[in-house]
Structure 1
């Protein structure tokens, strides 16, 4: 499926696409991890696969450290660094269970990996050394860097906020305001709060300031629900991505839709066409001009899809009309 403002990448992964992430320095390169054991670097401007390396098990997340180094974590617990210049991969360490998420924090210059072994580990990307391991209240399902903080979503609907400058104590511990299991957390570009999604078609907008006055502003809303023949079908909200310039955000769900939201004004800006498979990951380019959309049948709530659909990554050129908050004047 292609339109004038959207195209599909060549050489897409062949099994569930777990993450897509643009380089923070340029809109040219996109990183993608997959259940087919691969991590791929695409040159989006040329629609070509530039590099690929493989883990020994499904890869659940990836991130850029800088323009020439990528990190990834897999189901077997391994954490891998890849140097694109010399095309060399290094296993820097491991968890005792699957590495569900991996993030780079530029403000403290550390890589954080979160695992189903109920820990997060911090790594020095200059030396590839492990510089700490920290217990979490449950399996780590999602993480988001928020300035010098790391926001961690775990099993049991726990949300833990760490200050990466001082890991001696937990800065905040709270329970998700949503009823069901946390699926994704992403922090606002202004670092004042975060958006959290669940498996039950809901999204919550939360604020880090614990004062009663600020906490009054938090709210939740329903989304990614489809009515067919009078029956409402509820889908998990798998992924969230912020537009850094406008602080609006995209959500991708098991229904195959991507929605754009203005969180501050509590409005949906638009909904893109329905993609041929559930949306597993979305990411905006650094300049906000493109949105990468990973569509993957592995993330369907149906036990057996009705028809064979290939995994695919779509690159959509987004407009101001789709991503900019509407004027309240």
Structure 2
């Protein structure tokens, strides 16, 4: 288990950013009446994104020109935990604690229920699967199932039993990876979407918080509540050669009264997102910081200082030119931590190549 990634430095650059480096961020103050749970950009437009919230709503924003405009919103009857866009950018899907899967049509302005589970819907993705690469919506729930939906019919195309409650899910190319309770990681090849390709135990010792697939579809990263990330590959030979884990999202304080002893505060890795062009990735955590990483050369590209609240979710737009991240309560300290004065903000950070592009060896 590696401790930290090595720092990558070139002449005139530093891996440590400051708050001044966030001065050009677009800020959406009070984007919801409760914490933001998920953010997803349109796959067709650079400046259009949806955000789900614990206030039971999904809101769609347009940030063209740096001036955030609310375009639409719709409601669930309980907190919404996830949101994603269809491939053609005409529909937004969402799921949450009302056990319901909804889809909003941007052209008609109408939303409708397209599916349901027996417990909360934690995660969803639009995927192309089967022999014809048909587009469908896959949803993962605390009811320990994965369901595939054709939006034109009310019953699921297929239901796949998971080892435990679904906590995280992601898909790229033909790879679908699901993280469940008890540290199970389920790998599915979408050419055969109803069959589990393999189930493995997370190499991280504590609960899985997030998973993110590589753009190439041959592996995935896992983030856990203990401030660690695991870099994994589907192929076992690749895994032996290239797989590793490292510590992150930790704050070390020296206890001056006891000499040089230090104490580390460990925070959850809440979100991981891969840059769509370069294949580098960003992580965000309960410590309120986000960091850009290069998994291939095993170093940190840039790290940003902790903000004044936890970051529950971050995501790139389709070009990787923007990173959206929410500063809001992530429920890591239970209901008692959800103070009235806790910040609730969405920030849009314009990325630079110095932050997100692989450095030459």
- The answer to whether TM tops 0.5 is yes
Larger Rg: 2
Equivalence for 1:49 = 70
| 8 Å Cα contact 1:183-1:197 kept in structure 2 | yes
Kindly state the Cα deviation for residue 93 of structure 1 after the two structures are TM-superposed. 1.7
Aligned to 1:86: 108
Deviations 1:191-245 (A, max 9, x none): 111000100000000001123x543320000000011343210000000011011
User: Residue in 2 aligned with 1:104?
Assistant: 126
Task: Work out whether 1:220 is the aligned partner of 2:245.
Answer: yes
* Whole-angstrom CA distance in 2 between matches of 1:278 and 1:121: 31
TM-score normalized by the length of structure 2: 0.86
Q: Report the Cα distance in structure 1 between the residues aligned to 2:316 and 2:187, rounded to whole angstroms.
A: 24
Q: Are the aligned partners of 1:277 and 1:300 in contact in 2 as well (CA < 8 Å)?
A: no
1:231 is aligned to 2:259:
no
Aligned alpha-carbon RMSD (Å): 1.8
Q: Which of 268, 279, 285 lines up with 2:317 in the alignment? A: 285
TM-score under structure 1 length normalisation = 0.94
Contact conserved, 2:331 with 2:337, CA < 8 A, in 1?
Answer: no
Q: Deviations over 1:100-126 (max 9, x none)?
A: 001111454111000000001001135
Asked if structure 1 preserves the Cα contact closer than 8 Å seen for 2:115 and 2:149, the reply is no
1:256 corresponds to which residue? 288
Name the residue aligned to 1:117.
Answer: 143
> Aligned pair in 2 of structure 1 residues 234, 307: CA closer, same or farther (>3 Å)?
farther
Question: Could you tell me how far 1:148 is from its partner in structure 2?
Answer: 1.9
Q: Contact 1:109/1:125 (CA < 8 Å) preserved in 2?
A: no
Corresponding residue SS for 1:216: helix
Offset at residue 11 of structure 1 (A) = 5.0
Do structure 1's residue 308 and structure 2's residue 341 form an aligned pair?
A: yes
Alignment of 1:135-150 (within 5 A): 135-150=161-176
Hey, what's the Cα distance between the residues in 1 that align with 2:194 and 2:338? 47
Separation in 2 of the partners of 1:80 and 1:202? Answer: 33
Preserved contact between residue 166 and residue 181 of structure 2 (Cα < 8 Å): yes
Aligned-pair CA distance for 1:26: 1.5
2:173 equivalent to 1:179: no
Task: Provide the rounded CA distance (Å) in 2 between the counterparts of 1:299 and 1:277.
Answer: 11
Alpha-carbon shift at residue 254 of structure 1 (Å): 0.4
1 CA distance for matches of 2:349 and 2:271? 16
Task: Report how many aligned residue pairs link the two structures.
Answer: 327
Q: 2:204, 2:224 within 8 Å by CA — same for their partners in 1?
A: yes
More strand by share: 1
Gaps of 5+ in 1: none
Q: CA deviation at 1:168?
A: 4.4
**Structure 1 residue 247, shift from structure 2 partner:** 0.5
Q: Which gives a bigger RCO, structure 1 or 2 (Cα 8 Å, sep 6+)?
A: 2
| Aligned equivalents of 1:278, 1:203: Cα separation in 2 | 18
